[in-house]
C-alpha cells in the first residue's frame, strides 16, 4: 500500500445493490467524485488496476469509499487447458483484499496460451473434459479469493463441432458443482442467438435463473458472415439495442430485481450519456421492485 493512497476505511465488502451500475472509466473519474451521482454501484476490469500505484488507484480508492464495487476479470483464462496462472491469481487476490468488492466475476472462455496472452475471450468446446477442468479452475479461484465467483456466458462467433453439452447445461453444471454464481450477459445471449440461429428467449427460459446474481447489458455491432447472414459482434461501444432491452425485461420477470450493469468499454460516451443509459435499466428494475411477486428468491 502506498503512502499517498490510504487504505480503505471500510471493514468489509459492501453488497452490490439490486440496482443499475456502470463500468468505471478513467474519463469519468473526476465527474463522479465532483457530482456524486446517484449510481447504485460501479464495476472495474480487474486487470486495469494491477499497476503498483498512480492515479488509477487513487481515484478508485476515493470512488470505492462512496460506492459499492464489482470486480470483473478478463484475463484468468478459466476455460483454458493450461493451469491457472498463479501469479495472476495472486494479483487478483491482492486486488480483492484491497478494494473488497461485493461481487467478483470472470468469463467462460480462454485467453492465455504458451505463446502469450491473446487479449480476447476465445471459445471452448463444451465437453466432459472441459467441464471438469473449468470446475477445478473455479474451485481454485474461489479458494484463493475467499469469495464466490460469478461465471459469465460468452459471446461466440463460431460453432465448435466437438461440443457435446449445451452452453446452458454446461453453465448449470459448473454452477452446481462449484457453488459459483452466474453472470447473465443478455447482450451475449442476443449475439449468440443471432450468430448461431436459436431463439434468445428460449435460451433464457432454459437458463438456471436461480443461480444468476448479476446481469450485463451492452451494445453490439452488426456485420455479415461468409454466407451473407447477420453476424453480431460484442463490441461494447454503443447503446444496447431494443432487442437486448427486451431480453433484460424478460429476464427480470424470471429473476426479480438484480444488479444490472451497463457495459460500455469502447468509444466511451460522456458521463451524462452513460448515466442516461443506466437510468433506462433502473426504470425496468423499478417496475420489478414495485411488483416483487414477479420474481423469485435469489439463491446466495
Which residues would be at the binding site for another protein (CB under 8 A)? 2-5, 47-48, 50-58, 74-77, 80-82, 85, 87-88, 91, 110-113, 115-120, 122, 124-125, 127, 129-130, 133, 157-162, 195, 197, 223-227, 229, 231, 233
Q: State which H helix or E strand residue 23 sits in.
A: strand 20-23
* Residue 68 · residue 14 · CB < 8 Å: yes
Instruction: Name which of 169, 178, 93, 167 is nearest 134 in CA terms.
Output: 178
Q: How far is the CB of 281 from another protein (least distance, A)?
A: 26
Q: State which H helix or E strand residue 274 sits in.
A: helix 271-290
| 3-state class (DSSP) for residue 218 | strand
Select 38 or 120, whichever has its Cβ closest to another protein.
Answer: 120
| Grid cell locating 118 | 491473446
Q: How far is the CB of 223 from another protein (least distance, A)?
A: 8
Burial 111-133 (b: 16+ CB within 10 A, else e): bbeeeeeeeebbbbebeeebbeb
Q: How far is the CB of 18 from another protein (least distance, A)?
A: 30
Q: State which H helix or E strand residue 22 sits in.
A: strand 20-23
Select 101 or 154, whichever has its Cβ closest to another protein.
Answer: 154
Q: How far is the CB of 291 from another protein (least distance, A)?
A: 39
Q: How far is the CB of 210 from another protein (least distance, A)?
A: 29
Instruction: Name which of 160, 227, 216, 226 is nearest 191 in CA terms.
Output: 216
Amino acid at each position: 500500500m502506498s503512502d499517498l493512497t490510504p487504505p480503505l476505511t471500510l471493514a468489509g465488502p459492501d453488497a452490490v445493490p439490486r440496482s443499475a451500475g456502470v463500468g468505471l472509466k478513467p474519463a469519468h473519474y473526476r465527474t463522479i467524485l465532483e457530482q456524486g451521482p446517484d449510481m447504485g454501484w460501479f464495476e472495474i476490469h480487474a486487470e486495469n488496476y494491477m499497476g503498483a500505484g498512480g492515479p488509477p488507484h487513487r481515484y478508485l480508492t476515493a470512488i470505492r469509499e462512496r460506492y459499492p464495487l464489482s470486480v470483473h476479470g478478463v484475463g484468468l483464462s478459466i476455460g483454458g487447458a493450461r493451469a491457472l496462472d498463479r501469479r495472476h491469481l495472486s494479483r487478483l487476490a491482492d486486488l480483492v483484499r484491497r478494494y473488497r468488492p461485493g461481487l467478483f466475476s470472470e468469463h467462460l472462455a480462454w485467453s492465455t496460451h504458451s505463446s502469450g496472452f491473446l487479449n480476447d475471450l476465445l471459445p471452448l468446446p463444451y465437453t466432459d473434459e472441459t467441464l471438469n477442468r473449468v470446475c477445478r479452475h473455479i474451485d481454485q479461484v474461489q479458494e484463493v479469493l475467499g469469495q464466490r465467483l460469478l461465471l459469465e456466458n460468452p459471446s461466440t462467433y463460431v460453432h465448435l463441432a466437438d461440443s457435446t453439452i449445451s452452453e446452458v447445461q454446461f453453465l448449470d453444471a459448473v454452477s452446481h458443482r462449484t457453488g459459483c454464481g452466474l453472470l447473465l450477459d443478455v447482450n451475449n445471449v442476443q449475439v449468440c442467438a443471432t450468430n448461431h440461429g436459436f431463439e434468445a428467449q428460449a435460451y433464457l427460459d432454459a437458463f438456471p435463473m436461480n443461480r444468476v446474481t448479476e446481469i450485463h447489458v451492452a451494445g453490439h455491432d452488426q456485420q455479415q458472415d461468409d454466407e451473407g447472414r447477420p453476424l453480431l459482434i460484442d463490441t461494447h461501444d454503443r447503446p444496447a439495442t431494443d432487442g437486448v432491452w427486451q431480453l433484460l425485461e424478460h429476464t427480470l420477470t424470471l429473476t426479480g430485481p438484480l444488479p444490472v450493469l451497463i457495459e460500455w468499454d469502447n468509444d466511451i460516451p460522456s458521463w451524462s450519456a452513460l448515466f442516461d443509459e443506466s437510468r433506462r435499466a433502473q426504470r425496468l428494475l423499478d417496475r420489478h421492485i414495485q411488483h416483487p411477486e414477479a420474481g423469485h428468491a435469489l439463491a446466495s
